[in-house]
Amino acid sequence: MAEIITFGEIMLRLKPEGYLRFFQNDRMEATFGGGEANVAVSLSNFGVDTAFVTKLPPHEIGAAAIRSLNSFGVDTGSIVRGGDRVGIYYLETGASQRPSKVIYDRAGSSIAQAVSGDFDWPAIFDGAKWFHFTGITPALSENTAVLVKEACREAKKRDMTISCDLNFRKKLWSSQEAQRIMEPLMDYVDICIANEEDAEKIFGIQAEDSDVNGGKLNHEGYCSVASQLIERFGFKYAAITLRTSLSANDNRWAAMISDGSQCFFSKEYEIHIVDRVGGGDSFAAGLIYGLYKNMSLKDALEFAAAASCLKHSVEGDFNRVSVEEVNALAAGDGSGRVQR
């Protein structure tokens, strides 16, 4: 029986080989990914019984998405079959000063058209202890926003821990729409996860003396952002990832977490990126794992930051690393030397 439940959309991911631009040749790599699915895969790799809940069409592409999750040990028994299509996203990997690009083709997907009654939340949550969603899912449609609220209401009735990664996507909705939908959902959330822009784009809470596009982050200013989030919504913890983009290939990566009275920062990693998509999801999964395993707040943060650092070296949405690999990096073994 699954201990942690995630709910959202899994998509078909299509990308040109390597650093090629869209249709620079006639081939694309096809894999699967999506915010909450990525979290489920990471947690399953870490040895936690995890279920992913969504709606997928009853055809071969839907079945392939389920097989992909099953291959990592994710419980897919609560996935509903129906609707006509799997959402798609196209990814062009950037290099140097050319940024990566994502194009969505997900309107009208099965999960976006799901309705109340598709999911039996009491049965899905039977025996579970944690529920995770992101701001992407309620952005898909008015229906999915209702479904997320229904799930949160049932999880809260059962005293489950609820985590949310804000994950603002400007290609899915405006800041005004995001605030209208997300603010009421925050009443259910215990642990809020954000990046350096989410709190500003959704709730208008900005770190002082920071310029994300200019590569300048005032890390201490994010203690204030986290404290304001906690004070405003009553979160137990607020965590923020801190990415300094030097180029499409090279970033500095760190994170912080606050309980409202104390603020902890992880070590900062210098990352040469293989694939950054899913980096935030791998952080969320690492933090959930650390807190679920009763690590100290600082240790859970370091585990999450290290897990995400490693994800940047792995192609595809899914973070294919183990607890042992994450612990080794968190303990300081970041040399990249061959293990023989």
SS3 assignment for 10-53: CEEEEECCCCCCCCCCCCCEEEEECHHHHHHHHHHHCCCCEEEE
Amino acid at 103: I
| DSSP-based three-state secondary structure for 157 | helix
- Catalytic residue chosen out of the listed positions 165, 198, 281, 317: 281
Q: Is 187 a catalytic residue?
A: no
First to last CA, the chain: 37
> Is the torsion defined by CA of 270, 102, 71, 53 positive or negative?
positive
Q: How many residues belong to the chain?
A: 340
Q: Which residues neighbour 306 within 8 Å (Cβ) at sequence distance 6 or greater?
A: 266, 269, 286, 326, 327, 329, 330
d(CA 192, CA 178): 15
d(CA 328, CA 46): 14
β-strands 269-272, 11-15: how paired? unpaired
> Is the torsion defined by CA of 271, 337, 303, 313 positive or negative?
positive
Q: Contact at 8 Å (CB) between 101 and 24? A: no
Nearest to 235 by CA among 299, 192, 185: 192
Q: Contact at 8 Å (CB) between 275 and 251? A: no
d(CA 309, CA 262): 24
Amino acid at 292: Y
Q: Within 13 Å, how many C-alpha atoms sit on residue 4's CB side? A: 29
Catalogue the active-site residues. Answer: 281
